[in-house]
């Protein structure tokens, strides 16, 4: 038989493109348009209903960037269309870009009730199926002129309403009434499903050729000049090919509708409120026509927005949840970044998310759903289990540059040994369209064949939202059991996870430690002020809750600010979304984030001051929000302050700190350290006096400037080739000894490079073995990355970096591709390298990006630790990080893990000097290996005190908790403060174990 496949396929492709798809709508008639251009930010529909509209014609330009226009759409169904399926079809000027990245709209009826969102792949609203002749059409379209921002990572001013300009960006193409020919529409779907499947089957499979001939017969039965009249006959030629069932061994796909809606990215937060409304309106409308639909939707914040702004849609969501069409998933307030949020913040992401779904929808979510975050902390498994979460889902690791994850379904083991059943969909997308290419890839790619038979496919338009479409649901019906394709079942993610765990849980492999994404490593650094705002806010919340709880326990008249703290926590959690905290959003998002953090910190300061005032009038005292006792310089003396308590300000002199200039170098010394600073302002020696050893293996605090041109993903990526070129910033404009004791010695160093200027104060204080580098930099570079290097005379096989509720070890060598891929790593307040018996930690107050390398030297192998301080990418924010930055990092010689934990907290929680009484701590733990993470009042407003603590050194720890108030009852709770068992008088924690205690004051 002659091979004419290419001829038949070419014939089919032309017929589909030129004749079938255009024939889906038969008759059309334009609707009458009028418009009201909103003069400022978006307004509610009530205001739009009262506005004055002016005539508008299709083909007219409209919409300056980020503006909103309301269009009245009016007409009447022709009498001759009665009994047919009539739809309004709207195109406000869609471009070739995908949904969510351009013009979008929400249709309302004449009374202002939201009906359905529109985007390029979902342009219709059914007004009659069947229609009534003469029926009036009165609609309102809220149209958002959102510009497409990301074009090849080129710099653009479109990313902020302040710089985007006033020129219109869209031309309104059409608003028509049209008759949908359902036979033709169904034929198109039949053809698409079969032709897509055919192209995925091997040429030696009979099934491929059978489909080809069925499609050929379909074309023979079809009159291309009368598609409507011959569509039924054409469909009949495909019926047999579509009816053949899948094989018994076909891969099983659990499909869940989805719409990944970034809570901010290439649009501001306020636009996400509308994106969620459009998408959720689409889904609830779609469920009426497709009762099998299950829509998996995460991010409690987006539900809360819709509840506030679109109560009609909110009621439809609640109904869909009750009827099984809607599955709340994810258990988190937002799909946050999973590396940089602090321990308590990550716990609160889950607490606030789960509580919202319980309180508002009566649903106990059982999974963490993070398909798009940029790597996953090894603290997650324990946090998940403590919150009653059974399962974890991500997809992002399919983006790895170098290494392929060896499993798709596995047990993920955290740093404390807790395991959570995890799935990583082999379809490698969270935006599936039910294309046969995607499903075939899922089956071929699935790494757990032989033991497991099923995987999950999230389907629907995402990133900017949109969700499932009717075409996707129709394809799913055809793919439920179709020979040559995986079996497709639309069901809740929980049904998939339960079945997968039952089938494979006993045999599934284990992945231990972090899920490191071998991509987007620069997100630990980009938009430094956003990251600093997050770090400051997390610690300010910690401090506010501590002193508010102290005030509430000690003064019954004090009103604990539940509502304010709840609101502020949710604001901080929102800004931990995985394109805000990582720095990968447009300029508008980060400008607003900086302003928001400033307001959050100001309000938290007011709350804290009020709480401290409630403790009673007193002379000046020093308050310590860290759980560890500290002795620090305060004013003219040293003060020792208990952890979580306070002490009176004293003027007692401490040990002398000595500093002098000796020729061209400066010598700084206290009882712990002897530091030498050369004429270029570099650390040439840091001698640990207690250990009698040199800490440095080369010049320390060496600023290094690299070119920074990633291959793609400008704000997201730092690619390995950046290391091939760098400039050491050794020249100093000035080096001065500005303070020489007796409590503090300071050398000030000023450097000028490029268009930037940096001033650093190298500070050594009494009673401290911490050497602080207080930095102010006017950063004006372009596409550069700035590092601060500490070559350490420590032979370290691995580094230890603080993460949430513990630390994680990473090799310093590059033996394997997995090791080499970790050339940029994330750490929280500290990173430590050590050899047997001795370690050095590098601390920071707002830096997350680091790198650690081995450094051969004349005396042997050392280890270089570098902090990644600043970047300057151009996309999506062309002025990323330009401006003045102030931050501190520090060197801590002779540091054990416990020292790093305590000093990291001290650096991030400065002592507070204020008018307050000297107070015994509210709680005391007698083992320093156990760190108190938070002290607060219970969320149920019972007045119970909640204390969260954890073992922080990686070993076993037995401890006793003592309270500064009488306790009537003590219970161990889960993460959501639900009692589990009575708390013992003393307790033993395994390595990195988290424990939450609930204490009822007597």
Enzyme catalytic residues: 372
Contact 308, 912 (CB under 8 A): no
H helix count then E strand count, the chain? 19, 55
Q: Which helix (H) or strand (E) holds 9?
A: helix 5-14
- E strand spans, 104-217: 104-109, 114-118, 124-128, 136-144, 170-171, 174-180
Which neighbouring-strand residues pair with 962? 924
* Separation in Å, CA 415 to CA 380, 393, 688: 9, 18, 31
Q: How far apart are CA 809 and CA 827, in angstroms?
A: 11
Q: For residue 818, give the 3-state DSSP assignment.
A: helix
Nearest-Å Rg of the Cα atoms of the chain is: 31
For residue 363, the 8-state DSSP code is -
Q: Evaluate whether 345 touches 312 at the Cβ level (below 8 Å).
A: no
Sequence-distant (6+) residues with CB within 8 A of 984 are: none
CA distance 884 to 905: 25
Give the C-alpha separation, 716 to 310, whole Å.
34
The answer to whether 560 and 614 are in contact (CB under 8 A) is no
Give the span between the Cα atoms of 505 and 958, in whole angstroms: 33
Nearest in space to 196 (alpha carbons), one of 433, 455, 2, 11: 433
**HSE-CB of 217 using CA atoms within 13 angstroms:** 14
CA atoms within 13 A on the CB side of 746: 11
- Which string of DSSP letters, residue by residue, matches 607-626? HHHHHHHHT---SEEEE--S
Which is it for the CA torsion 522, 525, 531, 536, positive or negative? positive
- DSSP 8-state code for residue 23: G
SS3 track for 689-720:
CCCCEECECCCECEEEEEECCCCCCCCCCCCH
Distance in angstroms (rounded) separating the CA atoms of residues 130 and 136: 14
Q: What letters, b where the CB count within 10 A reaches 16 and e where it falls short, cover 224-253?
A: eeebeebbeebbebbeebbeeebeeebbbb
- Whether the CA torsion 81, 85, 87, 89 is positive or negative: it is negative
Asked if 610 and 547 count as a contact pair (C-beta separation under 8 A), the reply is no
- Would you say 455 and 423 are in contact if contact means Cβ atoms under 8 Å apart? yes
d(CA 748, CA 371) in angstroms, rounded, equals 46
CB-based contacts of 853, cutoff 8 Å, min separation 6:
812, 863, 864, 866
What b/e string do you get for 937-964 counting C-beta neighbours within 10 Å, with b at 16 or more? bbbeeeebbbbbbbbbbbeebebebebe
Give the angle subtended at the CA of 388 by the CAs of 382 and 393, to the nearest 5°: 70
Dist. CA 370–CA 387, nearest whole Å: 16
Q: Are 162 and 878 in contact (CB under 8 A)?
A: no
Strands 702-707 and 806-811: unpaired
* Cα(948)–Cα(933) distance, integer angstroms: 5
């Amino acid at each position: 038989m002659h091979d004419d496949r290419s001829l038949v396929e070419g014939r089919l492709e032309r017929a589909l493109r030129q004749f079938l798809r255009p024939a889906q709508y038969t008759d059309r008639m334009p609707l009458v348009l009028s418009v009201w251009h909103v003069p400022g930010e978006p307004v509610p529909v009530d205001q739009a209903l009262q506005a004055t509209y002016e005539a508008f014609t299709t083909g007219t330009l409209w919409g300056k960037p980020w503006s909103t226009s309301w269009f009245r759409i009016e007409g009447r169904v022709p009498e001759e269309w009665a009994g047919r399926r009539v739809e309004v079809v709207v195109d406000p000027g869609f471009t070739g870009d995908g949904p969510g990245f351009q013009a979008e709209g929400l249709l309302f009826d004449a009374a202002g009730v939201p009906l359905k969102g529109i985007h390029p792949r979902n342009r219709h609203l059914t007004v009659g199926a069947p229609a009534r002749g003469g029926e009036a059409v009165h609609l309102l379209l809220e149209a958002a002129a959102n510009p497409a921002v990301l074009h090849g990572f080129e710099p653009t001013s479109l990313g902020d309403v302040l710089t985007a300009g006033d020129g219109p960006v869209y031309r309104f193409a059409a608003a028509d009434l049209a008759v949908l020919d359902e036979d033709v529409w169904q034929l198109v779907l039949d053809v698409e499903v079969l032709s897509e499947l055919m192209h995925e089957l091997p040429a030696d499979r009979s099934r491929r050729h059978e489909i080809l001939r069925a499609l050929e017969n379909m074309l023979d039965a079809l009159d291309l000049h009368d598609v409507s009249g011959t569509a039924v006959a054409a469909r009949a030629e495909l019926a047999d090919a579509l009816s053949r069932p899948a094989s018994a061994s076909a891969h099983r796909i659990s499909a869940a509708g989805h719409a990944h809606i970034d809570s901010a990215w290439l649009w501001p937060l306020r636009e996400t409120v509308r994106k969620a409304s459009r998408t959720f309106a689409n889904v609830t409308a779609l469920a009426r026509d497709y009762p099998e639909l299950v829509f998996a939707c995460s991010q409690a914040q987006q539900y809360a927005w819709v509840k506030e702004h679109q109560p009609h849609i909110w009621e439809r969501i609640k109904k869909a949840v009750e009827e099984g069409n809607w599955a709340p998933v994810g258990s988190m307030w937002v799909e946050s970044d999973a590396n940089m949020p602090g321990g308590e913040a990550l716990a609160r992401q889950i607490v606030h998310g789960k509580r919202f779904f319980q309180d508002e929808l009566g649903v106990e979510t059982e999974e963490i759903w993070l398909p798009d975050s940029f790597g996953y902390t090894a603290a997650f498994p324990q946090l998940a289990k403590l919150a009653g979460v059974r399962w974890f889902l991500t997809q992002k690791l399919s983006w790895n540059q170098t290494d392929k994850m060896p499993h798709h379904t596995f047990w993920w083991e955290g740093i404390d040994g807790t395991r959570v059943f995890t799935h990583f969909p082999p379809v490698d997308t969270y935006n599936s369209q039910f294309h046969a290419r995607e499903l075939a890839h899922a089956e071929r790619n699935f790494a757990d064949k032989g033991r497991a038979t099923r995987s999950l496919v999230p389907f629907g338009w995402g990133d900017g939202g949109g969700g499932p479409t009717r075409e996707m649901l129709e394809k799913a019906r055809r793919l439920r059991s179709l020979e040559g394709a995986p079996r497709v079942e639309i069901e809740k993610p929980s049904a998939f996870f339960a079945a997968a765990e039952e089938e494979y849980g006993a045999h599934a492999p284990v992945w231990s430690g972090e899920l490191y994404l071998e991509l987007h490593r620069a997100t630990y650094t980009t938009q430094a002020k956003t990251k600093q705002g997050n770090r400051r806010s997390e610690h300010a919340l910690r401090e506010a809750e501590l002193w508010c709880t102290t005030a509430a326990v000690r003064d019954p008249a004090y009103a604990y600010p539940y509502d304010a703290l709840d609101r502020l926590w949710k604001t901080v959690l929102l800004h931990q979304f995985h394109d805000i905290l990582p720095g990968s959003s447009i300029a508008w998002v980060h400008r607003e984030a900086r302003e928001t953090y400033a307001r959050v910190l100001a309000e938290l300061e007011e709350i804290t001051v009020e709480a401290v005032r409630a403790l009673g009038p007193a002379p000046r005292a020093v308050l310590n929000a860290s759980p560890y006792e500290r002795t620090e310089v305060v004013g003219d003396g040293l003060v020792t302050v208990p952890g979580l308590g306070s002490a009176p300000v004293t003027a007692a002199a401490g040990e002398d700190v000595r500093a002098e200039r000796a020729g061209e170098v400066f010598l700084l010394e206290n009882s712990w350290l002897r530091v030498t600073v050369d004429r270029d302002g570099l650390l040439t020696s840091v001698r640990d006096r207690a250990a009698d050893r040199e800490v440095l293996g080369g010049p320390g605090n060496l600023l290094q400037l690299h070119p920074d041109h990633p291959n793609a993903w400008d704000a997201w990526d730092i690619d390995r080739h950046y290391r091939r070129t760098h400039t050491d910033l050794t020249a100093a404009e000035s080096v001065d000894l500005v303070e020489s004791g007796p409590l503090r010695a300071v050398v000030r160093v000023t450097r000028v490079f490029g268009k930037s200027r940096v001033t650093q104060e190298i500070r050594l204080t009494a009673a401290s073995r911490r050497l602080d580098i207080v930095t102010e930099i006017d950063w004006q570079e372009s596409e550069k990355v700035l590092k601060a290097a500490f070559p350490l005379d420590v032979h370290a096989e691995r580094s230890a970096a603080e993460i949430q509720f513990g630390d994680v070890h990473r090799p310093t060598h590059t033996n394997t591709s997995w090791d080499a891929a970790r050339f940029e790593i994330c750490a929280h307040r500290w990173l430590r390298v050590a050899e047997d018996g001795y370690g050095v930690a590098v601390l920071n107050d707002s830096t997350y990006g680091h790198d650690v390398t081995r450094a051969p030297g004349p005396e042997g192998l050392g280890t270089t630790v570098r902090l990644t301080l600043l970047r300057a990418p151009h996309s999506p924010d062309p002025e990323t990080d330009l401006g003045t930055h102030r931050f501190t990092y520090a060197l801590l010689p002779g540091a054990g893990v416990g020292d790093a934990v305590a000093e990291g907290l001290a650096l991030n929680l400065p002592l507070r000097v204020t008018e307050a009484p000297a107070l015994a701590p509210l709680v005391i733990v007698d083992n320093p290996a156990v760190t108190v993470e938070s002290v607060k009042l219970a969320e149920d407003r019972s007045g119970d005190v909640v204390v969260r603590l954890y073992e922080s050194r990686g070993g076993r720890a037995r401890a006793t908790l003592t309270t500064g108030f009488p306790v009537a009852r003590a219970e161990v709770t889960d993460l959501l403060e639900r009692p589990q068992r009575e708390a013992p008088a003393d307790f033993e924690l395994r390595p990195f174990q988290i424990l939450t205690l609930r204490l009822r004051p007597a």
